[in-house]
Amino acid sequence: MSTGLDAVPLAPRHLPLLGHTVALLRDRPGFIASLPGRAGLVRLRLGPHTMVLVCDPALVQEVLREDRTFDKGGPFFDRAREAVGNGLATCPHGRHRRQRRLCQPAFRPARLPDYADAVTSAAYETTAAWADGQVVDVNRSMLAIANRTLATTMFGSRLPDATTRRIGEDAETIMAGAMRRMLLPAPFDRAPTPGNLRFRRARARLLETVREVIAAHRTGGAGHRDLLSDLLLAAEPDGPDDGPAGLSDQEVADQVLTFFIAGTETTAGLLSWVLYELARHPEVQDRLHAHVTRVLGGRPPRAADVPELTYVARVVDEALRLHSITWLVTRTVTRATTLGGTHLPAGTTVALSQYAVHWNPLVHPRPRVFDPDRWAGRPADRTSFIPFGSGPRRCIGDRFALQESALVLALLIGSWRFTAVTDRPARTALSAACVPRDLRLRLEARPASPGRP
């Protein structure tokens, strides 16, 4: 057994003060995939933070499974907590079981069809003004769809458009701010830089908006079929064994912030990467269009169609593999342990990156190639494909996001062809989610578009 962190090799290409930040910002997946590490571990420095990056897919599973030993913590979640409090995604192990139980009903599969209309309406409203030949800012549009969808499913139809837009803008500012703050030494957080001021303003405004909406829901009475009503009603029938029976107003506010931060930029990023890859692979786009036309026969998609849209699922899975939206999460070792034969003292920060698994050529041959057919007849297993994480802290919104992506994609591809305006690869925004920056694509209207639902 190796002892001490010094036994873990330091990843190459590290710079004084900045550590590996520059190498990561230049090419996140390429850099991470190039780090096999002895015993599947390497030491990584991100600005002021040193962490052990787990490169071996089996060890990644071990960390994700053992959530008591590898608890939420480290720079990523410490920063995220500043943004969303102690909601489901950021709370420590001791609070997680109860919160997850209380939030789960709002995300159970039987509730998904209730949310489908919100998705298609959001897609129609956002793209209503699109015209043949126009060049669109794809990520902006996908973010507008994701924000509208989540605002409607979360709060019902009672939220004014301006409020929805404001929530979306604030969520985006917070995501970008959390990543910037993670990469910089702690004293910079308190400096009155424009970025820090924007972050604090967005956080305060978002919290205020959410509290107002919760208060309005509480006085508006029961009977709404939206996520917030489910959270407000959440209570454990047999009484609590590890906390109060229901969620307090503060906990509900933390959850709502969490769902907005965790559920909008991620889904929008996924859809943007899918459209980017379709524009670069016209043969895949044509096949997808033919598939969607065959399944839907020209009508708008519904929740019941999603299981039939098998090629859509393959395209989405491949974009999730190649672009791994949530690309880095951290954990804190709560008690001394060994991982891959290496001793890790309590307090060690452990980092996991989806790229270490999704770009590993032994797991996915030709990992840099966008090939939806790699998923044909090969259901993804949880060791080789972890876009939504794994174990007790797996994404609670995974089915929600997959249904939303399938419906939006089927609807857009039925009406439009997307073409690239440049051969240059897309740049990636510096944010907690890996999303394309300034992605512009040209639209071509398809002859027979499905009508409004």
Site string for ligand HEM, 51-90 (x = CB under 6 A): -------------------------------------xx-
> Torsion-angle region of residue 380: left (phi > 0), alpha (psi -120 to 50) or beta?
beta
Between 207 and 443, CB nearer to ligand HEM: 207
State yes or no: residue 325 binds ligand HEM (CB under 6 A). Answer: yes
Q: How many other CB atoms sit within 10 Å of the CB of residue 140?
A: 14
Between 270 and 443, CB nearer to ligand HEM: 270
C-beta separation of 24 from 6 below 8 A: no
**Binding span for ligand HEM by CB under 6 A among 164-172, 200-208, 306-314, 394-402:** 394-402
Longest Cα separation, the chain: 66
Question: How near is the Cβ of 39 to ligand HEM at its closest, in Å?
Answer: 22
Contacts of 315 (CB under 8 A, 6+ apart): 274, 277, 278, 284, 288, 372, 409
State yes or no: residue 119 binds ligand HEM (CB under 6 A). Answer: no
Between 231 and 292, CB nearer to ligand HEM: 231
Contacts of 110 (CB under 8 A, 6+ apart): none
Candidates 311, 370, 385, 388: give the one binding ligand HEM (CB under 6 A).
388
Question: How near is the Cβ of 211 to ligand HEM at its closest, in Å?
Answer: 19
The SS3 of residue 136 is strand
Q: In 47-116, at which residue ranges do the beta strands (DSSP E only) sit?
A: 49-54, 70-72
Say which residue the tokens 């001490």 belong to: 4
Between 279 and 386, CB nearer to ligand HEM: 386
Question: How near is the Cβ of 251 to ligand HEM at its closest, in Å?
Answer: 13
Distances (CA, A) of 78 to 93, 96, 178, 179, 426: 14, 16, 9, 11, 30
Between 95 and 140, CB nearer to ligand HEM: 95
Contacts of 413 (CB under 8 A, 6+ apart): 278, 285, 288, 289, 292
Strand partners, 1: none
Between 230 and 417, CB nearer to ligand HEM: 230
State yes or no: residue 387 binds ligand HEM (CB under 6 A). Answer: yes
Could you give the CA distance from residue 57 to residue 175 in angstroms, rounded to a whole number? 27
Query: Where in 298-317 is the site for ligand HEM (CB under 6 A)?
Result: none
State yes or no: residue 29 binds ligand HEM (CB under 6 A). Answer: no
Question: How near is the Cβ of 319 to ligand HEM at its closest, in Å?
Answer: 9
Question: How near is the Cβ of 77 to ligand HEM at its closest, in Å?
Answer: 7
Question: How near is the Cβ of 3 to ligand HEM at its closest, in Å?
Answer: 27
- Contacts with ligand HEM by CB under 6 A lie at 88-89, 100, 258-259, 262-263, 266-267, 270, 325-326, 329, 387-389, 393, 395-397, 400-401
